[in-house]
Structure formats: structure tokens, C-alpha cells
Amino acid sequence: MAKPGRLGVGIIGAGKVGAVLGAALRAAEHAVVGISAVSDASRERAETLLPGVPILEVQDIVERAELVLLAVPDDALGPLVEGLAKLGAWQPGQLVAHTSGRFGVGILRPVRAAGAIPLALHPAMTFTGMSLDLTRLLDCSFGVTADPAMLPIAQALVVEMGAEPVAIAEADRTLYHAALAHGSNHLVTLVAQASELLREVGVEAPERMLGPLLRASLENALASGESALTGPVARGDVGTVAAHSEALRELDGGSGGDILEAYLAMARATARRAGSRGLLKPEQIDGIRQALETPDAGGPIPEEGP
């Protein structure tokens, strides 16, 4: 016998996120009534994570579900919602949640107009689309946006999936998502660039060299914030910063490749932040500014007090 409050859940999009969240909701004893899957990879993912759940057409899923989870790319979300509204698919009282970080509930206006209840549930996590993601959800936060009266429902769904809900205002969704993308996506780029440089100097397994350093840096930064900042910029080691810049320019043949551009941009940002915290003397800030002033650097570091 099902627990009170259990829902019939329909998943639109058997990508890495949709299939995993569907499995998490199923583990909370909600009934997954159907999932949409187009590619062979998504069908295989659906069959692996949600065995026995029928693969259905999108409109059939919406018709059967009390909770519809829209796990589709950001650019596809609006047209999908509007298209289903034109077909008269949305039902009064139906819960409709999307997993986009960028959008709140505003993009679900056609859902609201039909009398359904819009929710935004964005997991702040990178997904593999495999069962190990279910364990990772236990340490995950969701950015949740909903009308005030409906916020407890959104929060309860996240808690049932084993994660922590964090309320994000509708007007703040884009900035919220930019913060996550900047931290996570650009971290991957930085690691790839650092690995490339190590391979350039003959290190065969750069991940083994970088792993302990980067894990410690991340843990320290999360625990202590900018107090964990170390390195030549934070120390005001102008000579080292200048040497790094020159070596990277030589590697890129003076063309200003992506590694040089990233190093200069991050060094300049680090210098600004170190200066604002009083970690550097004015003459150190000026020296680092001069070391980083190249046509590729995008201009000098603005003057800031120590």
C-alpha cells in the first residue's frame, strides 16, 4: 500500500539529470508512471535507472502524471512548456517542476495559466547519469523557487530525494546559476589547462600530481574562504608572476592562447581580491599590475587600496 501523499511522477527527458532524479523519487516511494527518451543512450539510461518504467510520448506522460519533471536543456524548456499548453496538456492542480538553474517559475507561465503549480528544482551537482549519483544527492543542495504557498511542497520533494533545499528568489536565478557555472565549469577548464602544462613538461600522469593539491585547495577554500589564499600573487612575488606570464607567452608563441588568457585574468582577479583584504602592500600591487600588463591582459588592474 502506497504511503499517503505519494505521487504519480512523469519524467520528460531521460538525460543524466532526469533519470537520476526519477530514480530518487521512486526510492522515496513515488510511482514513476512514464519517462520520455529519444536517443539510444537515454533509453538505456532509463532502463538501467528506472527498470519497468514505460517509455512514453511526452503528451502521454503529462496526461498520466500528478508531478511532471521537466529535465530538458534550458533553451528547450520554454518552447516545450508553450507547446504543451497549446495542446491543452497541462492539468489544474498538477505539479510541474523543471530542473533548470537559469530559470525560476516565470518560464512556466503557461503552466500556471492552466491551473497547474509551477516549481523550479535545480540540483547544484554535476551528474554522470549513473547510480552513483544517487549517493551524491545526499550531499547535494537544490536551488528551489516557488510561490510562497507552494515552497514547502518544493522543499519536501527535495528532502525526499535526500538533498537540501535552498530557497532562491525568482529575480536571483540567473546570478545563482552564474555562480555555480563559474565555480564548477571553469574549474574543469582550469584543471584541463594545468594538466596540459604538466604534460608539456613531461609529466605523464598530471592528475596524480594535481589531485592532492587541488583537493586540499578546494577543501581549504570552502572551509576558510579567501583566508586560504596562497601562491605568488597573494605573497606579492612579482618576479614569479612575471616569469609565469613570460613562460606562458612563449608557450603560446605570443598568440595569447587560452591558458595565457586564463592565467592573466585569474591573476589579476586574485591581485584585486588580495589587495582589498590588505594582504599586499601598495608597491606589491603595483608590481604585479605591471607584470600582468600585456595586450592580452585586457588592461591594467584598477587601483585599489591595500
pLDDT in tens, 55-77: 999 999 999 999 999 999 999 99
Q: Taking residues 5-23, what's their average pLDDT?
A: 94
Identify the H or E element spanning 61.
helix 58-64
- Other beta carbons within 10 angstroms of residue 128's beta carbon come to 11
Q: What is the mean pLDDT of residues 270-286?
A: 88
Whole-structure pTM value: 0.86
Q: Would the pLDDT of 45 be above 60?
A: yes
Region 76-84: mean pLDDT is 97
The answer to whether the beta carbons of residues 95 and 117 sit under 8 Å apart is: yes
What proportion of the chain, given as a percentage, has pLDDT over 70?
92
User: What is the rounded average pLDDT of the residues 219-238?
Assistant: 92
Q: How far apart are CA 176 and CA 284, in angstroms?
A: 34
Percent of the chain predicted with pLDDT > 90 = 82
pLDDT in tens, 102-128: 999 999 999 999 999 999 999 999 999
Contacts of 148 (CB under 8 A, 6+ apart): none
Say which CATH topology domain 8-168 has: Rossmann fold (3.40.50)
Looking at residue 7, its pLDDT comes to: 95
Residue 120: closest CA among 88, 150, 156, 144? 144
Residue 70 phi, psi (nearest 5): -95, 100
Q: Is the pLDDT of residue 35 over 50?
A: yes
For residue 3, the model assigns a pLDDT of 57
Q: How far is CA 222 from CA 214, 217, 228, 235, 294, in A?
A: 12, 9, 9, 21, 32
90 confidence band (pLDDT: 50, 70, 90): very high
Average pLDDT of every residue of the chain: 91
- How does pLDDT run across 161-187, given as a tens digit for each residue? 999 999 999 999 999 999 999 999 999
Confidence (pLDDT) at 53: 97
Q: Is 91 exposed, middle or buried (0-12, 13-18, 19+ CB in 10 A)?
A: middle
Write out the residue limits of the CATH 3.40.50.720 domain(s) in the chain.
8-168
pLDDT in tens, 191-210: 999 999 999 999 999 999 99
Domain with CATH 1.10.1040 in the chain: 176-292
Say if residue 251 is exposed, middle or buried (CB neighbours under 10 Å; 0-12, 13-18, 19+): middle
pLDDT at 143 over 90: yes
Residue 58: the pLDDT is: 97
Cα separation, 238 vs 215, in Å, equals: 26
CATH value of 176-292 in 1.20.58, 1.10.390, 3.40.630, 1.10.1040: 1.10.1040
**Cell 608557450, residue?**
251
Residue 266 scores a pLDDT above 90: yes
Mean pLDDT of 244-254: 82
